[in-house]
Amino acid sequence: MGAAALLGLLPSARAASDDAPKPSFDLEIRAPQPLRALLERHLELRRYREVSDLDDAELARLITLAEKDVREIAATLGYFSPNVRIAREPGARPVISVAVDPGQATSVREVKIDFEGDIAGSKDEDAVRQREGIRNGWLMPPGQTFTQAAWDDAKAAALRELQARRYPAGRLADSLADIDAPANRAHLGLRLDSGPLFRLGPVQATGVERYDPVLVPRLARLAPGSIYDRDRILQAQLRLASSGYFDSAFILVDPQADPAAAPVQVTVREAPLQKVVLGVGLTTDSGPRVSVEHIHNRVPGIGWRAVSKLQLDKKTPFAQTELMDIPDERGWRWAGLARGERLDDGNLVTHGQRLRFGRLKSQDHIDRNVYLQYDRATVQTQAGAPVTTLDSGAGSAISANYVWTGRYFDNPTLPTRGHGFGLELGGGLTLTGDRSPFQRTVFRWLGYRPLTQGRLQLRSELGAVLARSSAQVPGTQLFRTGGDTTVRGYSYREIGVPLPGGQVGPGRFLAVGSAEWQRPIRWRGAPTEFESVVFVDAGAVADRVGDLRFSTGVGAGVRWKSPVGPVQADLAYGVKSRKVRVHMSVGFVF
C-alpha cells in the first residue's frame, strides 16, 4: 500500500476512535494509599463502566453489591471494620463516589505453630533446632499489622524452612487466621506436617559420555545415607558446574521417592574436552596483563586434567602447567605443577622455577594440600648482573609442605561477614652452598565484622623461616610485602630487607596487619552497589624478629560489587615512603 493510500485511511480511523463507546458512568475513589491503589485495580464496579445500556435500577443494584467488594478488598490489608460510603452523585452524567475510612488496622495478637510427622516428636538436635528456627523465623510476629499478602508469605516461608532440610515432602496441614474485628486483633494458627525423615540414596547421573562416570558422585559429595539438605544439594550443583568438567548441573531428590534412600538424580551437560581462554587485566602492581590458558580435561594416557597458562605483564610474568587427577572416594586427588616465573620489584629481578607433586582435598569449607616441592631462584640486578649474596634470595631447596585453609564467609565472592584461616607448614633442605635444614610457617587470617554502619574488615599475616644464618634459602621461600593486596601506599614487594646499594631483598620474618572500614554509598536514601572505605595497613620484613620495623600506609577508596567480585580502587599514602599511590584490584581470593 502506498503512502497516499495509507494517509487516506487516517480520517476514517480518527472517526472510528471518536465513535468508540464512552464509559456509562464515572468512578471516583477516595481512600488513603495503598488502599486506594488496590481499589482502583480490583474493584468489580470498574468492569461495569463498559456496559452501555445500564439503567438506573441496575446501577443502584451494582452500588449495593460494591460495598461487599470494598470490604473484602480492605480486609486483605488488615482493615476489617472500614466505614464505607458509596453513592451516586447528582448531575447530568452518572458519577459514583466510593469513600472509605479504613479505621484501625488489625494487628497480630498471638501466633501458634504446631507440628506433626517425624519432626513433632523427634528429640534429634537437628530436628529441635529446625522446629525452633521455624518458630523464631516466623514473619508475622505479635504486634505486626495483619495483611493477607503477609499471611500468605509467612506460611510459604515456614513451609520452605521445613522442606529445606530433612523433610522435602513436608506440607502445610492446616492454617487459621481468627480475626476479632471489633478489637482489631488477629489470632494465627499453623500446623506443619513434616512427613518422614529423608535420607539420600545412590547418585544416578545422566549426561556423562566423554568423562569418567565416577566424577559426578565424587565431585557432588552427597554420601548415601546422609540426611537431605537443600543447601548441600545446591553446593553440590555449584561444585559440578564450576569443576571445569561440566557446563551445567541439576540435582533432584524426588519427595515421592523412598524416604529411607531417596535416589539423587543428577543431570549434567559436559564441557568441551579442550578449551582455550584468553584474558586481559590491569593492576597497579604489575600494570597491563594478558594471558592465554589451555585446558585439557582428559589428557590421553593418564586421564588427568591439565591446565597450562602463560601470563605476560611487566613485573610478574609466568608460565605454568598443572596436572590434576580425579578425586578418589575420600575426596583426595593427586596433583603436579611446574612453574617458571620472573619477579621484577624495580630493584632486583628474580627468576624462579618450581616443581611440585602431592595430594589435595577440597571440602565445603576446608581445603588441604600435602606436597613435595623443589624451588630454585636466581637473582640479578636491573642491568643483568647476577647477585649471589646470602640475603639476595638466590638458591635452591627441596621441602615437604602441608597447607590448610578454612573459609567461613557468608558469600564466597562478596563476603560481608565471617572469617577465614590459612596455615602453611613446611620443612626442607637447602641445596645451594652448605646444605642446611629449614622450617617455614605462614599464618593468614581475614575477618569481617558487621557494624551499625557498614562493616570492619581485619586482615593479618605472619610468616617465619627458621634456619641457620648461613643457610641459602631461595627467595621463593622467603618474604617480601607491599602492594595492592598487602600494604597499600608502597609499590609491589617494596618492603623487605635493605641490601647494599639501596636494593631490597627477601627476609625470614614477616608481619602484616590491616584494618578497613567499608560503608555502603547511598543514593536518594537507598544503598547502591558501591562502597566507600578508609583503611590503615602496616607491614614489616626482617631477618630477625627484633629487627621488624613496620611501614604504614593509610588511605581511602571505593568498591564496586561486580558480578565477578569486588572491584576496588584505593588512594594510599605511604608514611615511610612519603609517596601517594593508586591501587586497583579485582576479585576476592583467600
DSSP-derived secondary structure for 285-352:
TTEEEEEEEEEESS-TTT--EEEEEEEEESS--EEEEEEEPPP-TTSEEEEEEEEEEEEE-SSEEEEE
Return the number of other C-beta atoms located less than 10 Å from residue 436's C-beta. 18
Q: Is the same domain home to 264 and 280?
A: no
Q: Is the same domain home to 455 and 324?
A: yes
Residue 197 CA to residue 117 CA, distance in Å, equals 9
Is residue 89, in this structure, part of any structural domain at all?
yes
Answer for the pair 444, 481: CB distance below 8 angstroms, yes or no: no
What residues have CB less than 8 Å from 429, skipping those under 6 apart?
Answer: 397, 398, 399, 435, 436, 437, 438
Residue carrying the nine cell digits 544416578: 204
Which helix or strand (DSSP H or E) is residue 537 part of? strand 526-542
Q: What DSSP assignment string belongs to 466-478?
A: EE-TT----GGGS
Cis peptide before 34 (omega within 30 of 0): yes
Whole-number pLDDT of residue 282: 73
Pairing assessment for the beta strands 26-30 and 95-101 based on DSSP bridges = parallel
What's the one-letter identity of residue 206? T
Q: Is the same domain home to 280 and 378?
A: yes
The three-state secondary structure class of 201 is strand
Whole-number pLDDT of residue 21: 61
Is residue 184, in this structure, part of any structural domain at all?
yes
**Farthest CA pair distance, the chain:** 112
What's the one-letter identity of residue 176? L
Q: Is the same domain home to 223 and 144?
A: no
What's the one-letter identity of residue 33? Q
Please identify, among 160, 193, 226, the residue that sits at the C-terminal boundary of a domain.
Answer: 193
Query: How many structural domains compose the chain?
Result: 4
Q: Is the same domain home to 131 and 79?
A: no
Residue carrying the nine cell digits 568423562: 211
CA 189 from centre of chain: 36
Q: Is the same domain home to 35 and 132?
A: no
Residue 406 CA to residue 419 CA, distance in Å, equals 8
Please identify, among 175, 193, 211, the residue that sits at the C-terminal boundary of a domain.
Answer: 193
Q: Is the same domain home to 283 and 297?
A: yes
Is residue 434, in this structure, part of any structural domain at all?
yes
Residue 475 CA to residue 440 CA, distance in Å, equals 12
Q: Strand pairing partners for 191? A: 114, 174
Whole-number pLDDT of residue 20: 55
Q: Is the same domain home to 414 and 381?
A: yes
Residue 176 CA to residue 159 CA, distance in Å, equals 15
Domain span including residue 233: 200-270
Is residue 15, in this structure, part of any structural domain at all?
no
pLDDT beneath 70: ranges in the chain: 1-21, 390
The three-state secondary structure class of 44 is helix
Is residue 4, in this structure, part of any structural domain at all?
no
Q: Strand pairing partners for 338? A: 321, 355
Residue 190 CA to residue 110 CA, distance in Å, equals 11
| CATH at 111 | 3.10.20.310
Q: Is the same domain home to 300 and 209?
A: no
Is residue 514, in this structure, part of any structural domain at all?
yes
Q: Is the same domain home to 220 and 311?
A: no
Answer for the pair 283, 584: CB distance below 8 angstroms, yes or no: yes
Q: Is the same domain home to 281 and 189?
A: no
Q: Is the same domain home to 40 and 182?
A: no
H-helix segments, 91-124: 118-121
Please identify, among 141, 169, 193, the residue that sits at the C-terminal boundary of a domain.
Answer: 193
Is residue 154, in this structure, part of any structural domain at all?
yes
Is residue 3, in this structure, part of any structural domain at all?
no
pTM: 0.74
Whole-number pLDDT of residue 19: 54
